[in-house]
């Protein structure tokens, strides 16, 4: 057995049954690194401490044997971040299509609606809450 194979096997047995890296851990790693760099630039000791705490959480999560709890944390993080990703995508799409459509919010439920440009004043029924109101397209 070569030296590298021994190291590989040792690492594999060390991580056996442990949670390992996931999306939340990767974000914690980057946030910790960013805070550490910010601390180095500004000279704030508190930021260094905060980055160390974040790294501590990261290491704890990676070596944790409570997989169910770590999966649940990661799932909640993905749901949270997914909501912002969707909002960002929708805003980008509205900006791209701004010349073809007039975008407006339903006065009742605040959801986004659109009309083709040049439609004129029409009565709109919201698809979500079925509220009727007049809107210029
Ligand atoms: Zn509505």
DSSP label at 125? E
SS3 for 20? coil
Residue 68 DSSP SS3: helix
Residue 14 banded pLDDT, cuts 50, 70, 90: confident
For 35, phi then psi, to 5°, come to -65, -40
Q: How far is the CA of 71 from the centre of ligand 1 (A)?
A: 35
Looking at the chain, the whole-number percentage of residues with pLDDT higher than 90 is 87
25-80 pLDDT, tens digit each:
999 999 999 999 999 999 888 999 999 999 999 999 999 999 999 999 999 999 99
pLDDT of 108 = 95
Gap from CA of 78 to ligand 1 centroid (Å): 27
The confidence score (pLDDT) of residue 1 equals: 76
Q: What's the 125 CA to ligand 1 centre distance in angstroms?
A: 8
Ligand 1 centroid distance, CA of 87 (Å):
17
- Is pLDDT of 111 > 80? yes
Alpha helices (H) along 16-66: 23-42, 45-63
Question: What percent of the chain lies above the pLDDT cut of 70?
Answer: 100
CA of 123 to the centre of ligand 1 (A): 13
Distance 106 CA to ligand 1 centre (A): 5
Compute the distance between CA of residue 2 and CA of residue 128 in angstroms, rounded to an integer: 64
How many A from CA of 89 to the centre of ligand 1? 20
- Tokens representing 66? 């409570």
> How confident is the model at residue 87, as a pLDDT?
92
Q: How far is the CA of 132 from the centre of ligand 1 (A)?
A: 8
User: Does the predicted model carry a pTM greater than 0.85?
Assistant: no
For residues 7-23, give the mean pLDDT.
89
Distance 42 CA to ligand 1 centre (A): 47
């Amino acid at each position: 057995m070569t030296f590298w194979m021994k190291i590989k096997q040792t690492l594999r047995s060390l991580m056996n049954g442990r949670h390992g890296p996931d999306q939340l851990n990767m974000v914690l790693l980057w946030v910790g690194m960013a805070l550490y760099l910010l601390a180095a630039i500004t000279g704030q000791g508190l930021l260094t401490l905060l980055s160390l705490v974040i790294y501590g959480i990261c290491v704890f999560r990676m070596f944790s044997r409570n997989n169910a709890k770590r999966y649940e944390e990661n799932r909640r993080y993905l749901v949270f971040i997914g909501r912002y990703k969707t909002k960002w995508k929708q805003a980008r799409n509205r900006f791209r299509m701004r010349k073809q459509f007039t975008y407006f919010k339903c006065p009742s439920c605040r959801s986004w609606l659109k009309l083709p440009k040049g439609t004129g004043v029409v009565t709109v029924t919201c698809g979500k809450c079925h509220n009727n109101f007049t809107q210029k397209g």
